Amino acid sequence: MEKNKRQTLKRIAVFGLMFILAGMIALAGTILHKGEMEEMLRNTVMVMTGTGMVIFSFAMEEINQRFIYRNEGKYGRFSLMYLGGLLAAVFLPYLPVTGWPFLVIFVLLGVFSDTATGLMAGSVCLLLSVHFAGGDFAIFWLYFISGVAGCLVFSTLDDDFRVMLPLFISLAILTLCLTANEILFTPMKLSAAQFLIPVINLGVCCILLLISLKMFSTAVIHRNREKYMEINDPEFPLLVQLKEMSKEEYYHAVHTAYLSDRIARRLELDDAAAKACAYYHRIGKLRGENTWENVSSICNEYHFPSNTKKILKEYVDESEKVVSKETIVVLFADCIVSSILYLFEKDPMAQLDYAQLIETVFQKKLETDELWWNEISLSQIREMKKIFIEEKLYYDFLR
C-alpha cells in the first residue's frame, strides 16, 4: 500500500511538471514565431489539453499493464522524451518540410511508453510544428501516416529486439509518403536537387533511430542481461554459500533451475528471471528461515533485477497470490524435483514412472486454489507437462 502511494505521488509530481512545461514551450514557441495574443492562448490551451490526454493514456496503460516494453514507473524518462519532442516541434519549421525527422519522434515516444500514448504524444508535437509552418494539411498527413507506421511496426518487437525489418518498413513508408505528398506536387520540373533533402531526411532518421534504439535496447530491454549472467552462474558467491551450508539444497536448486530454464524458453517466457528464481527460491535459509524478509534482504543486498524479486515474492511470501507464468514454471519444477528426490531417497534403485509422477503432480496442483489467479493458459500448462515428460532422461541424474 505504501509503495503504491509513493508511486502515485511520483506520477503526479512528474506529470504535473510535464504538463506545466508543455504549456510554457507552446507559449514560448508562439512568441518565437511572432504569434498574436489569441494564438498564444490557443496554442497553450491546445498543447496542455493534448498533454493531459497523453498523461491519461500513459497512466491507464500502466494501470492496465499494457506496456510492451519495461516502461512501468518511468515517468521522468517519458516526460523528457515528450518535452524534447515539443521543443523539436518549435524549431523544425525553420527547416524545409521534407527534412523533418518526425518518424524518429513518433517511434521514440512509442517505445518509451506504448503505441497509443506514443501516437497521441507524437500527434501533439506534429500539430504544433504544422501550425508554426503555416498549417498545411498535407504536411500533417505525410508525417502522421509515417509516424503511425513507425509506432506500429516497432510495437511488434520481442526481447530479441531485432530492429532491421521494422526500420526498413518504416523508412520505406516515409519514402512513399514524401514522394506522394511533396515531390509529386512540386511545381518545377523534377531534378536531382529536389531529392536531396528527402534523402538527407531518410539518412538522418535511419542514423538517429539506430543510435536511439541501440541505447534503448541497452538501457531497457537488455539492461539486466549482465546481472542475470552473473547471478545465474552456479559459482556465484550466494550459491557457493548455499552449497557450503547444504549440498542437498544446492543441487536441488541446480536441478530446479535447469528445468525452469528449459520450460521458460520453450514457452517464450522470461527464462533468465525464472532460472534465477529457481536458483534462489530457498536462499533465505542462509539467514535462518526461508521467509520473504530474509529473501528480500538478500535480493536487495545483491541487487537482483526487479522481475526476479517479483517472482520470488510470489513464490516465497505466503500472503502473495501466484500470478506470473514464471512463478508457476518454478513452482512445478520445484515440486517435480522434490518428488523425485524424495522417492530416490527412500529407494535409490527405484525405477520410477516419470510420466505418471508428473501427471500426478499436475493433477494435484490444479485441484488446489493455488493457481486460481495466474496468467498462464491451459494450453501452456499442457505444453509444460509435455516438456517435463520429455525430460525423463534427465531425472536419472537426480539419483
Contact call for residues 357 and 398 (beta carbons, < 8 A):
no
- Can you give the residue range of the structural domain that contains 358? 225-398
Whether residue 257 sits in one domain with residue 271: yes
pLDDT digits over 6-22, tens only?
778 888 999 999 999 99
Structurally, the chain folds into a number of domains equal to 2
| Nine cell digits for residue 78 | 517519458
How far is residue 26's CA from residue 177's CA, in Å, rounded to a whole number?
A: 27
Residue 45, number of CB atoms within 10 A of its CB: 12
Whether residue 291 sits in one domain with residue 211: no
pLDDT digits over 115-144, tens only?
899 999 999 999 999 999 987 888 898 899
Whether residue 114 sits in one domain with residue 229: no
Would you say the C-alpha torsion 19, 61, 7, 161 has a positive or negative sign?
Answer: negative
Look at residue 2 and tell me whether its pLDDT is greater than 60.
no
Whether residue 268 sits in one domain with residue 203: no
Whether residue 153 sits in one domain with residue 233: no
Whether residue 33 sits in one domain with residue 168: yes
Question: Can you tell me whether residue 368 is helix, strand or coil?
Answer: coil
Residue 171, number of CB atoms within 10 A of its CB: 20
Among the residue ranges 67-76, 274-283, 301-310, the one predicted with the least confidence is 67-76
Which of 221, 240, 261 delimits the end of a domain? 221
* CA-wise closest residue to 60 among 128, 22, 114, 96: 114
Look at residue 187 and tell me whether its pLDDT is greater than 80.
no
Look at residue 55 and tell me whether its pLDDT is greater than 80.
yes
The residues, any chain, with a CB within 8 Å of residue 390's CB and separated by 6 or more, are none
Which of 221, 239, 259 delimits the end of a domain? 221
Contact call for residues 128 and 120 (beta carbons, < 8 A):
no
- H/E segment holding residue 362: helix 354-367
| Nine cell digits for residue 75 | 515517468
How far is residue 100's CA from residue 198's CA, in Å, rounded to a whole number?
A: 9
Whether residue 339 sits in one domain with residue 285: yes
Whether residue 48 sits in one domain with residue 97: yes
Question: Residue 6: its pLDDT value, please?
Answer: 76
Whether residue 88 sits in one domain with residue 32: yes
How far is residue 304's CA from residue 306's CA, in Å, rounded to a whole number?
A: 6
How far is residue 208's CA from residue 203's CA, in Å, rounded to a whole number?
A: 9
Across the range 206-234, mean pLDDT stands at 81
Whether residue 139 sits in one domain with residue 57: yes
DSSP symbol at 393: T
pLDDT digits over 334-346, tens only?
999 999 988 888 8
Whether residue 217 sits in one domain with residue 72: yes
Which of 174, 198, 221 delimits the end of a domain? 221
pLDDT band at 220 (very low <50, low <70, confident <90, very high): low
Look at residue 191 and tell me whether its pLDDT is greater than 70.
no
Question: Residue 159: its pLDDT value, please?
Answer: 59
Whether residue 286 sits in one domain with residue 165: no
Q: Could you tell me the CATH number of the domain that includes residue 329?
A: 1.10.3210
pLDDT digits over 241-274, tens only?
999 999 999 999 999 999 999 999 998 888 899 9
Most confident of 29-33, 60-64, 67-71, 364-368: 29-33
